[in-house]
Amino acid sequence: METSNYILLVAGLLIVFFAVYMPRKKLSAQYRRQEEELFKPDAVRQNLDIIFVQLQEFSRDSLAKMDTKIRVMTQLLQEVDQKTHRLETLIKRAEELKAEGNPAFTSAPQTKTDIQTAPQSGTYPAHQKVYSLYDKGFPPVEIAKELGIDRGEVELIINLRNRTH
């Protein structure tokens, strides 16, 4: 082999060596600088402050969502209480009319099984899905996942149905 070939071979090896070795050296120095910056007391305090602010924002958002849900649930419970009171009033009035001998109440009363098998008019389709899954033995958590609604809403629907039966 000629000397010029050896010189080219050595030059090529040096170029490859510097191309591979130098960036690593730069990167490790860069990582060391970042690490030093990261663990300076001021940097640690600043990072903790940022994390603290993010936690505050997250908790504020979570509390706002919970407050909204509580307000909705409270409103729904108030509506249920109003409707329950209205139904109780209507039942008392119907019993009074029946006791007075009103002809509308002289026919044979429905049995409890007739009432239970009668279709529930006025219910929402989502409620029917909840009832169906619950009757099949699904727990509220799985029903909520299946229908994409909150577990609390599923439990409320089930409890309201159980309350009326």
Taking a C-beta distance cutoff of 8 angstroms, is the pair 143, 134 a contact?
Answer: yes
Mean pLDDT of 7-24: 78
Q: Is residue 110 over pLDDT 60? A: no
Strands (E), the chain: none
Mean pLDDT of 14-35: 71
Return the percentage of the chain with pLDDT > 70, whole number: 79
Taking a C-beta distance cutoff of 8 angstroms, is the pair 130, 157 a contact?
Answer: yes
Mean pLDDT of 99-107: 69
Residues 6+ positions from 38 with CB-CB distance below 8 Å: 44, 47
Q: Looking at residue 118, what is its pLDDT?
A: 44
Q: Which of 2-6, 21-25, 76-80, 114-118 has the highest mean pLDDT?
A: 76-80
